[in-house]
Amino acid sequence: METALAVGARLPVSHALTEEMRIQLRKRMLRDFNMPEESAGQAVAGMEEFLQQCADDPKAKLSPSALVDKAWHAFILHTREYARFCQRVAGHFIHHNPGLVTDIGSVDCDADDCTATDCYQDDDD
């Protein structure tokens, strides 16, 4: 059952992602990446934490770990659920901007050729 939110209200990630979706994402991680069940659970939990950070600071250029990025990719495939989730936790769509990771210690995401995967709020949103 969908809960109506007041205009501008945001849910914490822990309330916005259903247990059913968590299970689906863990199953996809197990199937697509042949990883242990514990790792799949950690990936989904890490994705939730990462997306919460993106929602809390939409101007930040944040980069997930490779494991978390796999979970994020799995979630994005559920387009309706992902869009609804983003609206509920951030008030806007959290875009995925894939880049080339070369040296994560020297990433400059303000440059035209950002070299990390980051999340951002599009100015059109």
User: What are residue 58's phi and psi, to 5 degrees?
Assistant: -65, -15
**Residue 122: per-residue pLDDT:** 52
Q: How far is CA 8 from the centre of its chain?
A: 20
Q: What is the mean pLDDT of residues 115-124?
A: 49
**Residue 93: per-residue pLDDT:** 92
C-alpha triplet 75, 80, 23: angle, nearest 5°:
40
Q: At what angle do helices 37-56 and 19-33 cross, to 10 degrees?
A: 120
**Side chain identity at residue 34, one-letter code:** N
**Residue 108: per-residue pLDDT:** 37
Q: What is the rounded average pLDDT for all residues in the chain?
A: 77
Closest CA to 86 of 117, 59, 57, 54: 54
| Structure-model confidence comparison of residues 26 and 120, the more confident one | 26
**Residue 38: per-residue pLDDT:** 94
The per-residue pLDDT for range 28-76, each reduced to its tens digit, is: 999 999 999 999 999 999 999 999 999 988 888 888 999 999 999 999 9
**Residue 103: per-residue pLDDT:** 39
H or E segment and range at residue 47: helix 37-56
User: What are residue 117's phi and psi, to 5 degrees?
Assistant: -75, 125
